[in-house]
Structure 1
Amino acid sequence: MDNTIKADTRVFETYPQIEMHKAHFKNRFGIVLAGDVYLPVDYATKKSPAIVVSGPFGAVKEQSSGLYAQEMATWGFVAIAFDPSYTGESSGTPRNVASPDINTEDFSAAVDYLGQLDYVDRDRIGAMAICGLSGMAITATATDTRIKAVATASMYDMSRSISRGYRDSYTDEEHHKIKDYLSQQRWVDAENGEPAIGPHEVAFDENGEIMHTKGLPDVLPENPNPVLASFYDYYKTPRGYHQNSINSTGAWTATTPMSFFSFPLMTNVKEISPRPLMLIAGENAHSLYYSQDIYNEANEPKELVVVPGADHVDLYDRKDLIPFNKIEAFFKNSLQ
């Protein structure tokens, strides 16, 4: 545990009564993960339940996950928000790589860390994730029985999204085109000795050709797609911009999608039961169907919370819309 905070770059309102410590710990691949541990006011006097938090995909702990973890500390939980492998302040090279396997392991590594703290009850640990890390949190919970409950907000299945497109819209021809593009990109990377950057979710232009975009645009185009506009508003403006966030300043490696084609997430979601699962999504979120489909797939106990009037990005930081009362009740009941 490192109590030194060189510079506080969190993009959300911080609570002076909530103590935050820096943490570093290894996953089973030897990658050193960086986290921010949020502590309840009376943490040193007892063993408390704990929650591991991460996401969204391409975000860092100073953004949405830190906001959630801080709130959880006010409810009496020790909560850690961490940067996934290869991103933010966590180690791993090359930078800006994602993997369904490694990023799932990151959640279990955070459980390893929390369970060794003197003031944490290792039999009462839960997990929470936002957006694209939610699939990894659910996958980790299905296998790691030390995680006693899992909740998600604006859940995204990154394997499904990357390999099948929005609402499974890729045609067989498009699916093959993407795989061939990724395969050929490996020749380029091998010859250059370093990975190129590119889109983690491949799109096609009006001629059916792959669009070689590289992250969010620096300037929002006229009449933008509403989903693009909402992501831009969070990551590219003072609302949520952070220099360590891939979505704010860069892009993933171009071959990142390969592992998501090969390894689906959440195939064992039924095995979370009898531990509880809660899925939270905005009524107007383009991603709502992911939470609905996993809810239908999972066994009891499970709960789907649809937030009226909210879109996908609203659940990153809109405290007036995030149903913190339901999240608090869920974890307090689940981690008794």
Structure 2
Amino acid sequence: MNPSRRSFLQASMVAGAAGAFGMPAAFAQRPSTAQAGQALTLASEWDKTFPKSSRVDHEKVTFCNRYGITLAADLYQPRSRNGAKLPAIVLSGPFGAVKEQSSGLYAQTLAERGFITLAFDPSFTGESGGAVRDTASPEIFTEDFSAAVDFIGLLPGVDRQRIGAMAICGLSGMAITAASSDSRIKAVATASMYDMSRSMSRGYKDNYTLEQRHKVIDYLSQQRWADAESGSFARGYHEVPFDADGNVIKNARLFPDSLPADADPVVVSFFNYYCKPRGFHPRSINSTRAWTATTPMAFFSFPLMANINMVAPRPLMLVAGENAHSLYYSQDVYSAASNPKELVIVPGADHVDLYDKSDKIPFDRLENFFRENLK
């Protein structure tokens, strides 16, 4: 990657639609969402970006986190369970994706291999509840993993002493953080790991200057005045970029309708997943819109990896592509973590390959990791 890149999206930002749009003052919901604590109306049809397996039983479920927000999830169970209590895995990610995309594919595939799995939408996103749509909280997203453990550990077919967690891309930091304070999570694996606190507060490869960090904080602070005055929430980039003159770039969508011919290859890889039939989903923030513009504020204040040493002695596996622009996140977390730990670098794979390329995702390694550590 070009070292001057401020975020993986910057090359597409000028080409994107200008302006910002917000939620209505009353925070009206899409039909498939609900306020905290209310019943959710979930899609009944198979609406995943991957084919349904005949080897697992699937059902939509809901549960609440400790803040009273109702979460929506897909529960996958091996069809041949034979009444035995099985190990379980809770999954989420990427950041801005929905369970119908990558996390669901991982969940279904791991269920085919003998685990009971739960792929969930974090609070405020997808089919899950939460009043202000498409806002992110590192604390609440971390809590969502523990809430998923609550739910899956109470299922009669699950051995609650054998529960693991897995996350893809930007939810990986929350899965690791959840494990650092929730010892019920016996093993953690990540794929294409991103530390969203580091990404939002310091930029790609920590390339924000101190002046730029202050500019981002000031931009977010002034946006709060604008939101308070309008009674709505503007949209904007969660990894805040700068133009050639050093000004913050604003936009209401992560991606434009089309990319310029000279778009950065990393941007192209994300666009070809989220905005093409391969991975497009109408409920995915990354496919259709952007987060609320003030989303980065909490991530400046909440360093996700602060207590990574508390995951041990439970094991951690980090899977990353050899050609991934994000590889350094997995490498740095691996260096900071205590044993037992494992870094799996997939030859020839980039960041997005590990979202859905089953020929590159090391499912055998993941199965062996969870089977060995969820005994």
- Which of the five TM-score ranges fits, normalised by the shorter chain? over 0.9
Q: Distance in 2 between matches of 1:329 and 1:144?
A: 23
Measure, in 1, the Cα distance between the counterparts of 2:150 and 2:305.
21
Asked if the contact 2:125–2:134 (Cα under 8 Å) also holds between the matched residues in 1, the reply is yes
Contact 1:281 1:307 in 2 (8 A): yes
TM-score (structure 1 length as normaliser)? 0.98
1:285 corresponds to: 324
Aligned pair count reads 334
Distance 2:270 2:257 in 1: 12
| Distance in 2 separating the partners of 1:213 and 1:169 | 21
How far apart are the structure 1 equivalents of 2:206 and 2:237? Answer: 18
Mapped partners of 2:54, 2:113: distance in 1? 15
Q: How does 1:213-224 map to 2 (within 5 A)?
A: 213-214=251-252, 215-224=254-263
Which residue is 2:188 aligned to? 150
Per the alignment, residue 174 of structure 2 pairs with 136
Question: Aligned-pair distance for 1:43?
Answer: 2.9
Amino acid across the alignment from 1:152? T
Q: CA contact under 8 A between 2:320 and 2:327: conserved in structure 1?
A: yes
Following TM superposition, by how much is the alpha carbon of 1:213 offset from its aligned partner in structure 2, in angstroms?
2.4
Amino acid at match of 1:303: E
Give, in angstroms, the shift of residue 227 of structure 1: 1.1
- Which structure is richer in relative contact order (CA contacts within 8 A, separation 6 or more)? 2
Q: 1:220 deviation in Å?
A: 1.3
Which has the larger displacement, 40-49 or 189-198?
40-49
Contact persistence 2:235–2:251 (CA under 8 A): no
Aligned CA RMSD, in angstroms, stands at 1.1
Instruction: Note the alpha carbon deviations across 1:233-284, whole angstroms, 9 max, x for none.
Output: 0000000000100000111000000000111102111111110000000000
Determine if the alignment matches structure 1 residue 53 to structure 2 residue 86: no
Q: 1-side partners of 2:123 and 2:260: how far apart? A: 32
The worse-fitting range, judged by mean Cα deviation, of 205-214 and 275-284 is 205-214
What letter is aligned with 2:330? S
**Mapped pair 1:98 → 2:136:** yes
AA paired with 1:51?
A: I
Matched, 1:240 2:279: yes
* Distance across 2 between alignment mates of 1:48 and 1:307: 29
The reply to whether residue 257 of structure 1 matches residue 296 of structure 2 is yes
Structure 2: which 5+ residue stretches go unaligned?
A: 1-39
| Residue matched to 2:9 | none
Indicate whether 1:123 and 2:161 are aligned. yes
Match runs of 1:1-336 below 5 Å: 6-43=44-81, 45-214=83-252, 215-336=254-375
- Cα deviation per residue 1:194-236 (whole Å; 9 max; x = unaligned)? 1111110100111111111231222112210111101000000
- Provide the C-alpha distance between the structure 1 equivalents of 2:334 and 2:201, rounded to a whole number of angstroms: 21
One-letter code aligned to 2:67: F
Q: Relative to structure 1, is the Cα distance of residues 12 and 267 closer, same or farther in structure 2, using a 3 angstrom cutoff?
A: same
Q: Which amino acid aligns with 1:304?
A: L
Q: Which runs of 5+ in 1 are unaligned?
A: none
Whole-Å Cα distance in 2 between the matches of residues 213 and 193 of structure 1? 19
Aligned mates of 2:262, 2:310 — CA distance in 1: 44
Identity percentage of aligned residues: 63
For residues 82 and 89 of structure 2, the distance between their equivalents in structure 1, rounded to whole angstroms, comes to: 17
Distance in 2, matches of 1:43 and 1:115, equals 16
> What CA distance in whole angstroms lies between the structure 2 residues aligned with 1:305 and 1:107?
23
Following TM superposition, the consecutive aligned residue runs of length 4 or more in structure 1 with deviations greater than 3 angstroms are: none
Give the superposition deviation at 1:13.
2.0
Structure 2 CA distance, aligned partners of 1:15 and 1:134? 25
Separation in 2, partners of 1:77, 1:53: 12
